[in-house]
Structure 1
């Protein structure tokens, strides 16, 4: 149900005159409240500069901060006036895949009219019950080129703790956490940046939404508790991009992007919640993106050819036969697990059309679809790109794993849009690897099932996987699903147990849930029965109160009438109690838990659980627990 009204939402405007050295500016305060009145964003003019604040339950989330958008090196938000505003509101729900099956898009908004000299432009503000967001629109004549830039500040309250990683690996980093006051000047931060506010005031996370026809953003600390928005031409070149691309490519992406006609910035988003459950369930990032084109997606995410599911993947666990026969075996093993997809790396390109078609037909008979890997550099030419996509479509290939973007310059963002448009036309699914952070565009393009943008199981040298995997659900995953490629029973699991690894498939979930482990090892594991039943999308997710970033992740997730409880522990042994009150009635419980004698084994148990029960767990370093509850 959708309600759009131009109406008097929770907004106030105050007018006064303020003297400045060069004349008079009308000081106008525009205040927008969330529908539940708990989140408040104020935009105001102070001596000709546009500032904003964000509060939650009257406590600061973003202290007074200067907005900064410029065109051709002219700062429009300096020496600017607010000349008026119009208000609007949306309250709708729509089908979704991932954290829950129904997304809520409910906000109060204001389009604030601004004037810099003779340049009129608009600041659009939307305030949700769990987020505040803003975007600038600068009108321009078609065909006329301008170069935008931004440097809006996010002034974080003193005493806040921030979790972040740098840009060295692009979006494949390991988070650290510090008090915001101690983050040094010049520190680069890859969004989303998650913040725990002081005095138990809640959490926030800063990122962007609906990135298109523009450069991606990162954040730069200034050493004074402020994070400054910076576009891609300011970012340091990531190690992956430097490794894979030429000096000419690097020189090109370091130039500011020029845009033709009207310029609309992506949404700058501050997710806000009282607890981690609110943060994980926040829909704001995809809410801020347009709904899908019904020409391609008549039922949105439920369109018949959009098929989320679990995937086997020959890459990280043992030397598989990379022949057609070997991949037929992988498809057969996938079918034995009940999985829907088989992802092939680049070796498929050596095969003939007849060989590919043979594998596709064999797999389809098993109920398994075939995905193939491509290098994004080979897709820059539109005619070559379309020919490759058309070939895959004609051969019956279901999805493309497209790799090695490694940069957020506008030309890379434009390539994403071209890929998504052309694959939608051909009914091809997409997994972006070596990718930028998600910005909610899977709402517009539901054929994008996931993006990597995470240091996942491919990173064999990550020693403290226990801390890493309990940090990600509350940092990187807040922007959207990540291709972590969970579950490995060998050395890559480092300081985590087998049970913890299986729990990661529940917690580090994605609509395309690609398993790292060889399917033979999945089938042979004592937890195989649980593994076979873990879905890739959920109807409901509850993050339970004992969860703590980098220390413990406790998730209850429902699919239909079946609940899963999954626990991943960090590096400190702990005893926890988990009420089973998320159950609505008694249920048959099948669980797997750690064997204290060996991290490379696990125990299984069957019982009956009641909503009034309280589960007691003793967890060692990197320990885990998974339970399935069936009515």
Structure 2
């Protein structure tokens, strides 16, 4: 009878008969841990419907499986309800969850499963104590059994995290298929959406998923992953052999969080804070004001690479900085040609640029940063030359040694007040919270991919898949052939939707200034106070985003490959507003139309969108 009373009153954590159930603060999400046929298992529900069916938890240490015939011996509960400044879909992240540290016993080994359940996510992490001199090899094959009838969007690991998503029924994915997180799926019966990824990856190898067929996805660590084409291209056979071996860990083994983001709609998924919530806050030693520390400078960047004008000289990069200032942009990112310049030439550029209010970033190859003393000398030189940020490229693998390199780079650049942009990188795992000097990373098939023909479908898939893990440097907005089957207006809308704290534009600054949408381009920020994903957004078909910065709202629409007529309510506006808008020219995808008007919250925008069509509006509240 007491158990029935407990279920009715629904406390945050239930512990009975060897099972532990953890509820979200709003009681809509629950994660249950239990034993099933001798295997430690779990399931996740949302509004009493399955998100993850009963699935085996599986971790081994030195090939000894700790989750088989493990006993749940107790748990200690905890909860957090806090908020903190953030550079993402909104400016204030909310970290509110109920947690339980579940005590487990396997023979003589005592360990824990840490569980946290949010209103929009559930997550778990293993903690296996060890002495600091212990050197042990963990492995995981935890399962995620996705409900039959779900639709999943995924890409493989051939290009590492630079892939093009496929849409399939979960039931039709064959065994052996690799899936790069985040793996987003729509539950059957309009029960909602979910996405699987990991958080707080450090001192450990990264995870991907592999299908076992019949809707079962299995966690696999990096030494099991196929070597990506970019890694094969850039690294030696010895490197490949080394990263293909399992990695040992000293002392206590703490796995990254295995996260399932959950929501009734796409707006909930896009606004989910769970991935960065699961990471520690920034160390005040490096970041006295956290993410708002003065030398952390979000902003927009010009970049001479995909739409480059002029030569690769100091004088031309001065011109890029001058044009960046004319746009109101804050950064100028240089590719590897800067390394041929003298210190005096670099100082000349950084000094000139700072007078214009523009910071200089420079490119580096991660292979040249493996030696700690050489790496630190390079970073010190950049700092002394007035360089503000580093674009570090070609990681292309999630082995523990690569993950460790990220951590070393982030700590050492923080000491020197250098910002970082990782390219050729693995997915973000929320560590922008711990290390806010990392302002973005690539891990996306972006505008650099010149052969991507169906950019319309790709760019309407990314906001609800890859971007759920964190910002991506897609390098949006190109007015030339690279835009493929999208319009100019769609391209400008992508700067609003495919955003990052450092938002690097693909188009040259001259082309941005000359474009008839230039006034709106200048005003698009790189960080937002509020984001609302509006109807009728659909993954891979249509992205409709309303985003607010201060008293200004932007409405951005990117259409997929199929023409459609849609209506969008302006009810997100709380007052009348002056509206400046960009619409497609129906006769020319390489042109657009501008219009100024006054609108009310009761108004509805009606759009007729062709393949890859778009719409952008800026609303200044009166």
Question: Does TM, scored on the shorter chain, surpass 0.5?
Answer: yes
Kindly report which structure 2 residues correspond to 1:346-385, keeping only aligned pairs within 5 A, or say none: 346-385=336-375
State which of 232, 239, 251 in structure 1 corresponds to 2:241: 251
The residue aligned with 1:517 is 507
Tell me, what secondary structure is at the counterpart of 2:323? helix
Residue 344 of structure 1, CA deviation: 0.3
The Cα RMSD (Å) is 0.7
Q: Distance in 1 between matches of 2:219 and 2:591?
A: 47
Is 1:30 the counterpart of 2:12? The answer is no
Moved over 6 A (4+): none
Q: Which residue of 1 aligns with 2:540?
A: 550
Map 1:432-511 → 2, pairs under 5 A: 432-511=422-501
For residue 315 of structure 1, the aligned residue among 282, 286, 305 is: 305
Distance between the aligned counterparts of 1:445 and 1:225, measured in 2?
A: 36
2:34 counterpart residue number: 44
SS in 2 for 1:509: coil
Work out whether 1:173 is the aligned partner of 2:163: yes
Please give the per-residue CA displacement for 1:74-120, whole angstroms capped at 9, x wherever unaligned.
Answer: 10000110111010000000000121000000000000000111000
| TM-score (norm: length of structure 2) | 0.98
Secondary structure at the residue paired with 1:222?
strand
SS across alignment from 2:382? helix
Aligned partner of 1:333 in structure 2 is: 323
Quote the residue 1:18 is aligned against.
Answer: none
Q: CA deviation at 1:68?
A: 0.1
The answer to whether the 8 A contact 2:309-2:508 is kept is no
**TM-superposition CA deviations, 1:36-72 (whole Å, max 9, x none):** 0000100002243101000000000000000000000
Structure 2 gaps of 5+ residues are 1-9
- Provide the secondary structure at the position in 2 that maps to 1:124: strand
TM-score after normalising by structure 1 = 0.97
CA contact (8 A) 1:590 1:607 kept: yes
Uncovered stretches (5+) of structure 1, i.e. residues with no partner: 1-7, 16-27
What is the aligned partner in structure 2 of residue 264 from structure 1?
A: 254
Could you tell me which residue of structure 1 aligns to residue 579 of structure 2? Answer: 589
Partner secondary structure for residue 423 of structure 1:
helix
Q: Does residue 239 in structure 1 map to residue 229 in structure 2?
A: yes
1:363/1:370 contact within 8 Å kept? yes
Matched position secondary structure for 2:479 = coil
1:92 corresponding residue in structure 2: 82
Q: CA deviation at 1:319?
A: 4.2
* In structure 2, distance between residues paired with 1:500 and 1:320: 27
| 1:573 aligns with one of 547, 558, 563 | 563
Q: What's the CA shift for 1:9?
A: 5.0
- Matched residues in 1 for 2:38 and 2:252: separation? 24
SS of equivalent residue, structure 1 residue 500: helix
1:386 equivalent in alignment to 2:388: no
Q: Distance in 1 between matches of 2:280 and 2:308?
A: 42
Report the Cα offset of residue 300 of structure 1: 1.2
Match of residue 14 from structure 1: 16
Pairs within 5 Å for 1:189-338: 189-338=179-328
For the residues of structure 1 that align with 2:392 and 2:310, how far apart are their CA atoms?
21
Deviations 1:177-197 (A, max 9, x none): 100000000000000000000
Q: What's the CA shift for 1:143? A: 1.3
**In 2: Cα distance, 1:573 partner to 1:494 partner:** 16
